[in-house]
Structure 1
Amino acid sequence: MLRSVRWLGPIVVDALLVVLFCIIGRRSHDEAILAGLLRTAWPFVTGLAVGWIASYLLYRRRRETEPFNGMRLRPTGLVIWSSTLVVGMALRVAGGQGTAISFVIVAASVLALFLLGWRAAIRALD
């Protein structure tokens, strides 16, 4: 049971928060939420998946003695956040979507708040 909490719980929380980020963005621009949500979300969800894989591979490379924990702020959360942002923006460019500097700044800030914030809160409560 504890293993699934370390894996499944954080993955679900991260995925929901990335989709929420996309919903908020679409809503703030008065765009139809459901109609274009997949187009908006796929680059960031893909970046999130890449971040999770990279984080786990980094854990394996470091050969830590404790089990992998997706709730860790560092390095797990930092790898996941940066990958979600960088891969997400690269895929937006590849898909012909906008990446204005103001959007990159907002995305970096909101994704940091979402993906790092809940991990920091958990850590502070421990």
Structure 2
Amino acid sequence: MTTARRNAVRQALAGCQGFRSAQDIYADLRADGSKIGLTTVYRALDALSDAGEVDVLRTDSGEAVYRACRTEEHHHHLVCRDCGRTVEVAGPAVEDWAAQVGADHGFSDITHTVEVFGTCAGCAAR
């Protein structure tokens, strides 16, 4: 079910290029006059993530950060540690590897999460 608050979170993410924390999204919404609560932001992000509308990844410090999905296809992310620039990448070798590791150990219905972090060319040049 779509709610006005979920739409507000969706719109807040639509204008972002990189990943944002729930607290950042909450602060942006509050600065724009929204009366939304932080718990509601987390619930909306969970619902949007479950629906495949939002990408979620964990930073090196373990914090969950969010970004509007740019594609409906399964993909991974290459993320700049400095500026947050994110590139969606396909990983057929990763898909094959995950399936093989699962099969080698008798597992089925394999899923995985792979994120790659580095420094983009623009940040490296600075």
Task: Report the TM-score when normalising by structure 1.
Answer: 0.32
The structure with the greater share of residues assigned to helix is 1
Largest Rg, 1 or 2: 2
Q: Which has the higher contact order (CA 8 A, sep 6+)?
A: 1
The structure with the greater share of residues assigned to strand is 2
